[in-house]
Structure 1
Amino acid sequence: MSYSLYLWHWPIFATARYIGVFNDIKVKAICYILTILFSFISYQCIEKPLRKQNISFFKSLLILMIVPIILSLAIDEISDKYKGFNFRFGEEYARIDNILTQYSAKNRTKCFNKENDIADKRCEIGKISSTKKALLIGDSNANHFWNFFDVIGKKYDTSVTSITSSSCPALPKIRQYHWGNNSINTSCEKNTINYFNSIATSKFNFVIIAERWSNYLGFIVTPEDKKIAVINLKI
């Protein structure tokens, strides 16, 4: 029955950890009981009988691979349709998740880490028809504020074009290392050049550079390609 125990312990214990109740001693005891119970049932009803069966290769393939794949895909589609059954975490979680879904921006990811042209209409937010133009560039922190700048643009009659890149300070003539290694972040450098070329050729009333600045203090590259070590620097 060891294999059945192995199969059942993970989903039961992982679920308890996922919903944040595993540290309760009573919950742990229930997890052990459920693991043993389900393992015994599956061993007696599935594992033992199948050991005595002479099943063809095609039937084994159908039962053990094709059917589970179809079921998994079906469950995934249903889960996606009903937003992961968010109600299982309580009414408050479901309410917050529904609000986030309602106000999610479909084009936000399409204008992040892409070599988008400034003229890409999918990246315009705020009051798009306005003659006042703003450009928002920066890292993922800037991208996270997509809806904020959308509201600000509409309120102050400004069309905001948002083009952002992950872990990129977006400052001219500033080169940066990738997180955790000594290779230059060339994609950031390339995107930044494109940003400032667009600023030079386009008529923007405002240019907004939004970053989590503290992330970049120790990863700047000097003209000699030497990393700057910043110690005890306070902002």
Structure 2
Amino acid sequence: MSSAVHSYLGAREERFFLESITVPSKFSDYRPITWKECQGDNGLIEFPDNMETVLIDEVVEFLETQRDQSLWYSIISNMNYDYGEPVSHVAEWMLQQDDCDVAIAVLAYSLMSGEYFCGVQHETECCVSVEFLKPLRIIEARETTRPFKENALKVPKRDLYLFDQSEMLEISVNAAARLASSQGTGTKVTGLISVPENLLKTELKGTVPLSSYVAFDTGPMVVPIGQ
């Protein structure tokens, strides 16, 4: 269970939540719900009785018609990266979209240990899930063919520690340099991904406030349209 759940729910409520998951039968009849909407008059979180879960392996289908970058941000922030392939698939899809905000790409690079893979030559050497290489290689490919242009989201202060791009760039470059030097002169060696310098040098200057949607590592939460 992600830290987002623990920050809002106690152990008893969390157990009840997991045991009571229901999923929507038709995505077009549902919309995502924000934490603000779940704020009760007493200041406590009160989930609607008819709130349902879009499970992680169905998130891409749901997002086909949900282009709100705040929702994407909430989902990618709360996914459990120990899940491997299902999580990688969601990140891949987001990063392939033309409207994917640069903040989401930077966040994905950070959460999927992009810096680490710049300094590793073989997948068999990895101590981090190689599933992350799939979305990271989309970032790598877009460096030259289709740079991330959408730059609208305003990163909340609580998340700024994940967006120290100059530090990420320095760590990535140093990791790649250490790998190259370890092989001696005359041998060109590169990491499993190259350093995405353009992305990490892109200033995050979005002004659109981030809406915080309810999303756990099981997937985003939704309610019927019209509620």
The interval holding the TM-score normalised by the smaller chain is under 0.3
Q: Compare CA radii of gyration and give the structure with the larger one.
A: 1
The structure with the greater share of residues assigned to helix is 1
Which structure's relative contact order is higher, taking Cα pairs within 8 Å and 6+ residues apart? 2
The structure with the greater share of residues assigned to strand is 1
Q: Normalised by the size of structure 2, how large is the TM-score?
A: 0.27
